[in-house]
Amino acid sequence: MNKVTIYDISKKLNISAATVSRALNNNPKISLKTRELVMKTAAEMNYEQNTLALALKSGKSNTVGILVPYMDRSFFSSVIRGIEEELYPHGYHVIICQTRDDAKSEVQNINTLLNAQVDGIFMSVSKTTKDTLHIDRVLQKGIPLIFFDRKKNLPGVSSVTIDDFNGAYMSVEHLIRQGCKRIAHFMGNINLEIYKDRYNGYLKALTDYNLPYSKDYIVQTNSKVESGTAAVKKLMKLPEPPDAIFSSSDFTALGAVQELKKTGIRVPEDICISGFSNESFTQYTEPTMTTVDQTPIKMGKMSARVFLEQIDEEISVAIEKKVVLSPQLIIRDSSNRTGRE
Amino acid sequence: MNKVTIYDISKKLNISAATVSRALNNNPKISLKTRELVMKTAAEMNYEQNTLALALKSGKSNTVGILVPYMDRSFFSSVIRGIEEELYPHGYHVIICQTRDDAKSEVQNINTLLNAQVDGIFMSVSKTTKDTLHIDRVLQKGIPLIFFDRKKNLPGVSSVTIDDFNGAYMSVEHLIRQGCKRIAHFMGNINLEIYKDRYNGYLKALTDYNLPYSKDYIVQTNSKVESGTAAVKKLMKLPEPPDAIFSSSDFTALGAVQELKKTGIRVPEDICISGFSNESFTQYTEPTMTTVDQTPIKMGKMSARVFLEQIDEEISVAIEKKVVLSPQLIIRDSSNRTGRE
């Protein structure tokens, strides 16, 4: 099948190819009548514009890229959904890359998105990312970049995050209200601000309620189920085991619950557990799991709005927005002793 | 910051820009020694090739696109992982689009991927896709397309699927061995081959074991938890309710289990339940859920291998491969009465 070119249209209408090209690009130098005629003819002849060539020319591909550590985590897939829902009516399409928390893969994915001529990049940085040269490249090219959830502090870059400190504080406060006094913490990788904030929110709640802080009660974990299993085993061997765990991750909280049930320790009667992220499985476990909802769809929609503002030429391109959303504590059976909250 | 160009390299080495360009493209007309010298110098000077220009020239972007209905379903995210793991060592990067089972979105995402100059497309078709004009466009452009899991029957197009018929047959056979005699089926949208195959596998097992078939026992569902809840309510109102349900989806199976537990009906003692897909939550529910694993990582790897074969110029480009993988029945507590299997 031969593709219809602008030369075919030019021949048919007996006007120059340059005029056809200008008309197709809606150039006001060509009369409205001619523009309409050319477009109508192009449509009739099934002419297909080379949108890539067009993108190179106009600098717009109407595609944005989203970079996440794992696209199958409920949190990230919901943020993506929020971005898609907000950008779709504006004619934008979304392509997604995942880094699996690998810094090298993050660099390569940024290149892939740049090569795909995206108009903007939304990203949540990988746990292992240290330098930001690849991010600097995006900024040098003048492509809007918006961080969500996991961010780096870079001048001029907007971000949409949630108040992790407060999410942690609310969780620990709730555990204290359930009568818990020896509250342990499954701590994430505090190279990432979100985990540092959760840790600090935990500490602040203990201090405010005059509860003792013990190093033995802080266990370093990654966001895997097995990591939670190992961590709770360690805690339960202590001379004075904790009566609650505030976990920085739903996956480690799940690992703890599974292990405790196996050894006959009752949740929440003997020990209260709370997680973080409101992963979809937390509503299906037994007991159902207390967690912190990070309002990911809202986060996605808000990130998209920040992007739309940035590309709006009426507004300055140099705006830097730092949006911080409020998380929501979801109290379920794994920590609810009193049934009162 | 000024970007290093081939002219800078040419000046530094005192050779022509054309030679530099040929050397960077590894043209054998340039001596190996010169090629190595140019590449070394380019690396030292932080020369950055315009990969898009390169892609336009060579027709290769080293990027492939994956189109899935939902990227947050364990099954699809695992297939993606398999594709990534297999293609990564070959220098390919992966961008992902999701259709949310919307045919219109599928068409637009195909355009987005084509505009991003992908070297190949892996896709699992949306439930609502009827015509295949958008797929024909991909084929007309000579871009390799590989279907996985949900496919359309198109001449010349390779696919990697699992034997859904057999997965269903094994499930129902297992339920029969547990002593179940009135086996209901949560049927998916049989416009899709996979659900049709599961339904036919169910029928064949009933026939082979001389069990009665009843229309009342077939309930049309979509893959949502609520759909399973509604379906089981309908079934339990029958004068003779079923003693087992073979569900074409883990989500509907979960909805059924939740509803049955609420009404005091015991799983598996009173009714055995089995799902399909081995979603990650199936190992965390109580009881843990019997399901069919579709070996998604293997499916992804296999799809990637089919793609690599297709682009291998040594082999004919016109090969059409139909790979059918064997599923695996995973017996868990929701259907295991005897503890023997």
CB contact under 8 A, B93 and A112: yes
* Predicted pLDDT of residue B22: 77
* Cα A7-A9-A12 angle, rounded to 5 deg: 110
Same fold? B6-49, B164-294+330-335 = no
Q: Which residue has the tokens 């020369």?
A: B47
Enter the ipTM.
Answer: 0.70
CB contact under 8 A, B95 and A285: no
Which residue type sits at A284?
A: Y
Which element (helix H / strand E) includes A288?
Answer: none
Q: What is the pLDDT of residues A81-105, one digit of tens each?
A: 999 999 988 889 999 999 999 999 9
Cβ-based contacts under 8 A for chains A and B? 98
Euclidean distance between CA atoms B341 and B339, whole angstroms: 6
Name the pairing type of β-strands A328-330 and A291-293.
antiparallel
Q: What is the pLDDT of residues B148-189, one digit of tens each?
A: 999 888 888 999 999 999 999 999 999 999 999 999 999 999
Looking at domain B61-162+296-325, its CATH architecture is 3-Layer(aba) Sandwich (3.40)
CB contact under 8 A, B285 and A285: yes
Name the pairing type of β-strands B145-148 and B158-162.
parallel
Name the pairing type of β-strands B218-220 and B244-247.
unpaired
Distance from CA of B96 to the nearest CA of A (A): 5
- Residue A274 near residue A290 (C-beta atoms within 8 A): yes
Distance from CA of A58 to the nearest CA of B (A): 14
Q: What is the pLDDT of residues A143-164, one digit of tens each?
A: 999 999 998 888 889 999 999 9
The length of chain A, given as a count of residues: 341
Does domain A164-294+330-335 fall under CATH 3.40.50.2300? My reply is: yes
Chain A partners within 8 Å of B284 (Cβ): 254, 281, 284-285
CATH number for the segment(s) B6-49: 1.10.260.40
pTM for the model: 0.74
Q: Is A4 helix (H, G, I), strand (E, B) or coil?
A: coil
- Residue B229 near residue B254 (C-beta atoms within 8 A): no
Question: Mean pLDDT, to the nearest integer, of A323-341?
Answer: 88
Q: Is the pLDDT of residue B1 over 50?
A: no
Q: What is the pLDDT of residues B106-143, one digit of tens each?
A: 999 999 999 888 999 999 999 888 888 899 989 888 89
Tokens of B246: 């073979």
Tokens of A151: 């961010």
* Predicted pLDDT of residue B46: 74
* Predicted pLDDT of residue B48: 67
Question: Mean pLDDT, to the nearest integer, of A249-258?
Answer: 96
Q: Is B330 helix (H, G, I), strand (E, B) or coil?
A: strand
Question: Mean pLDDT, to the nearest integer, of B247-255?
Answer: 97
In this prediction, residue B52 has a pLDDT band, given cuts at 50, 70 and 90, of very low
Residue B77 CB coordination number (10 Å)? 23
> Domain residue spans in chain A?
6-49, 61-162+296-325, 164-294+330-335
